[in-house]
């Protein structure tokens, strides 16, 4: 572990920002011999207000939906120029990864480029003001899926992005969480050392978008894992090789939901209890599937 962060302090994100933490842990795992691509989103905007930059590694932002393709080109360019050893990492939000950038990402993984993609999943489009994405969980209120008299918020469960990446035959797919920095750093290190396109999906609670105190990012993240709503696992060559057990520490989903403003309506609206039960069912299914 490096003592000096490759992401310099003084970025313009919110206090307790999830994207900044995720970027820092990623760089700790990758080391300094890397090139980073970030799509448009909070991380990009807050770290590179010209003429300043937080990045102590070479970094490029092109567009919102092309990080997978830009990373492909960097890898191909380095190869053609005979530059070996430099790791190519793309790091972007859930919107950039799972929605608008999915095609470019799929292409990069299908072609088998030697890159590592880190999805920083804060479960909505934060940079534009907390609109829903394909990663927004069931029942969350966002600015484009607001709770209202006839709505309990987002009507769909999260898209299973790691499974989509696995379908591409990726040699290494892992989930991680900001609550477990060591886990994240180790997984990034491993991913960047494995040849081929590897993927890490990081659950990253956003203080502003989810509505919790800026000091609680890690606590909220940990609760997601302890309820079973965010299982931590590794898949190598298509087989689940490691799972973080919760065992007797298992918490009911209410404890997670009530920490956050985006689920507040579930506790005040008539019929909210049934909605919470549906969310509990999602957690129970994860617990069963991964043997948490």
Partner 1 sequence: MAHEMKMDKKNMVVVEGSYAVAHAVKTCRPNVISAYPITPQTHIVEDLSKFMADGEIPNCEYINVESEFSALSALVGSSAVGARSYSATTSQGLELMHEVLFNVAGMRLPIIMTVANRAVSAPINIWNDHQDSISQRDTGWIQLYAENTQEISDMTAQAFKISEDRDIMMPSMTCMDGFILSHVYEPLVLLEQDITDEFLPPFRPERILDPKNPMTFGAFADPHFYTEFRYQQERAMQNSLKKIEDVANEFYDMYGRYFGGLIDEYQTEDADIIIMAMGSIIGTIKDVIDHLREKNVKIGLLKVRAFRPFPAQAIMNVIKDAKVVVVLDKNISLGMNAGALFIETKSVLYNTDIDVPVIGYMIGQGGRDIPMSTIEKIISDAEEVMRSGIKIESQFTDLKEELL
Ligand X SMILES: Cc1ncc(C[n+]2csc(CCOP(=O)(O)OP(=O)(O)O)c2C)c(N)n1
Interface with partner 1 (CB under 8 A):
32-35, 37, 44-45, 48-51, 53, 55-63, 65-66, 68-83, 86, 103-104, 106-107, 110-111
205 is a contact residue toward ligand X (CB under 6 A): no
122 is a contact residue toward ligand SF4 (CB under 6 A): yes
Which one, 7 or 186, has the nearer CB to ligand SF4? 7
Q: What residue has token string 């209120």?
A: 141
Q: Per DSSP, what are the bridge partners of residue 236? A: 172, 239
Taking alpha carbons only, the member of 169, 135, 183, 147 closest to residue 275 is 147
Q: Which stretch binds ligand SF4 (CB under 6 A): 12-20, 28-36, 178-186, 192-200?
A: 12-20
Taking alpha carbons only, the member of 287, 277, 218, 288 closest to residue 253 is 277
- 247-281 burial, b at 16+ Cβ within 10 Å, e below that, comes to eeeebebbebbebbebbbbbeebeebeebbeebbe
- Shortest Å distance, C-beta 202 to ligand X: 11
125 is a contact residue toward ligand X (CB under 6 A): yes
Which one, 17 or 140, has the nearer CB to ligand SF4? 17
For residues 124 and 86, the answer to whether their CB atoms sit within 8 Å is no
- Residues 6 or more apart whose CB falls under 8 angstroms from that of 232 comprise 175, 176, 177, 180, 183, 225, 243, 244
Q: Which stretch binds ligand X (CB under 6 A): 94-102, 184-192, 218-226, 243-251?
A: 94-102
19 is a contact residue toward ligand SF4 (CB under 6 A): yes
**Among positions 142, 170, 177, 207, the unique one binding ligand SF4 when judged by CB under 6 A:** 207
Which one, 114 or 127, has the nearer CB to ligand X? 127
Which one, 68 or 95, has the nearer CB to ligand SF4? 95
Q: Which stretch binds ligand X (CB under 6 A): 76-84, 89-97, 173-181, 214-222?
A: 89-97
For residues 129 and 143, the answer to whether their CB atoms sit within 8 Å is yes
**Among positions 115, 126, 229, 257, the unique one binding ligand SF4 when judged by CB under 6 A:** 126
Burial status of residue 15 (CB atoms within 10 A of its CB: 0-12, 13-18, 19 or more): exposed
Q: What residue has token string 């919470």?
A: 276
26 is a contact residue toward ligand SF4 (CB under 6 A): no
- Write out the residues near ligand X by the rule CB under 6 A: 19, 40-43, 64-65, 92-96, 122, 125-128, 133
């Amino acid at each position: 572990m490096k003592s000096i962060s490759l992401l310099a302090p003084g970025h313009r994100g919110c206090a307790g920002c999830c994207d900044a933490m995720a970027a820092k842990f990623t760089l700790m795992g990758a080391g300094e011999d890397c090139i980073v691509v970030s799509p448009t989103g909070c991380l990009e905007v807050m770290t590179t207000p010209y003429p300043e930059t937080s990045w102590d590694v070479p970094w490029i932002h092109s567009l919102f939906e092309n990080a997978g393709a830009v990373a492909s080109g960097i890898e191909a360019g380095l190869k053609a120029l005979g530059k070996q050893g430099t790791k190519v990492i793309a790091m972007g939000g859930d919107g950039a990864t799972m929605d608008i950038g999915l095609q470019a990402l799929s292409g990069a993984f299908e072609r088998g480029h030697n890159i590592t993609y880190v999805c920083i999943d804060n479960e909505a489009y934060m940079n534009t003001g907390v609109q829903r994405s394909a990663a927004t969980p069931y029942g969350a209120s966002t600015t484009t899926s607001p709770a209202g008299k006839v709505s309990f918020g987002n009507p769909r469960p999260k898209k299973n992005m790691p499974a989509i990446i696995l379908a591409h035959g990726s040699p290494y797919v892992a989930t991680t969480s900001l609550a477990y920095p060591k886990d994240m750093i180790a997984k990034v290190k491993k991913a960047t050392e494995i040849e081929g396109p590897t993927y890490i999906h990081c659950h990253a609670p956003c203080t502003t978008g989810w509505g919790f105190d800026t000091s609680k990012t890690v606590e909220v993240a940990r609760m997601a894992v302890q309820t079973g709503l965010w299982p931590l696992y590794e898949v190598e060559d298509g087989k689940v090789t490691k799972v973080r057990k919760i065992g007797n520490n298992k918490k009911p989903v209410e404890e997670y939901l009530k920490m956050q403003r985006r689920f507040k309506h579930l506790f005040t609206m008539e019929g909210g209890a049934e909605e919470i039960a549906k969310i509990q069912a999602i957690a129970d299914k994860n617990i069963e599937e991964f043997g948490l």
